Amino acid sequence: MPDLPTSKPVLAGKSVLQGETIRLEALPEGHLLQVMGATTSEELAAHLAAAGFEDSSVRPAGYRQWFIAGSERLAGSQERALADALAGRAFISDQSHGRIRIRISGSSAARMLNRGTAVDLHLANFPEGSSAMTLFGHISVQLTRLGMEDFELTVLRSFAESLYEELETLVVSQGAGIWRNS
Quick: pLDDT tens for 124-166: 999 999 999 999 999 999 999 999 999 999 999 999 999 999 9
- With left for phi above 0 and alpha for psi between -120 and 50, is residue 180 left, alpha or beta? beta
**Of 52, 55, 60, nearest in space to 79 by CA:** 52
pTM exceeds 0.85, yes or no: yes
Query: What domain range is 166 assigned to?
Result: 16-28+98-174
Instruction: Give the model confidence (pLDDT) of 99-132 as tens digits.
Output: 999 999 999 999 999 999 999 999 999 999 999 9
Write down the pLDDT at residue 113: 94
Q: Are residues 157 and 115 in the same domain?
A: yes
Please tell me the distance from the alpha carbon of residue 21 to that of residue 58, in angstroms, as a whole number: 27
Please tell me the distance from the alpha carbon of residue 19 to that of residue 43, in angstroms, as a whole number: 39
Alpha helical stretches, state H, 5-135: 41-51, 76-86, 109-113
Q: Are residues 140 and 156 in the same domain?
A: yes
Lowest mean pLDDT among 5-9, 40-44, 84-88, 176-180: 176-180
Q: What is the CATH number of the domain that holds 141?
A: 3.30.1360.120
Count of structural domains, the chain: 2
Write down the pLDDT at residue 175: 64
Q: Are residues 88 and 106 in the same domain?
A: no
Please tell me the distance from the alpha carbon of residue 105 to that of residue 127, in angstroms, as a whole number: 15
How far, rounded to the nearest angstrom, does the alpha carbon of residue 175 sit from its chain's CA centroid?
26
Is 2 within a domain?
no
Is 180 within a domain?
no
Best-predicted range by mean pLDDT (51-55, 68-72, 104-108, 170-174): 104-108
Q: Are residues 121 and 168 in the same domain?
A: yes
**Of 96, 87, 85, 104, nearest in space to 147 by CA:** 104
- Find the mean pLDDT for residues 86-102: 90
Distinct helix (H) and strand (E) counts, the chain: 4, 11
Is 6 within a domain?
no
Q: Are residues 141 and 169 in the same domain?
A: yes
Q: Are residues 70 and 111 in the same domain?
A: no
Write down the pLDDT at residue 45: 86
Is 181 within a domain?
no
Q: What is the DSSP string of 2-39?
A: PPPPPP--TTTTPPEEE-SS-EEEEPP--EEEEEEES-
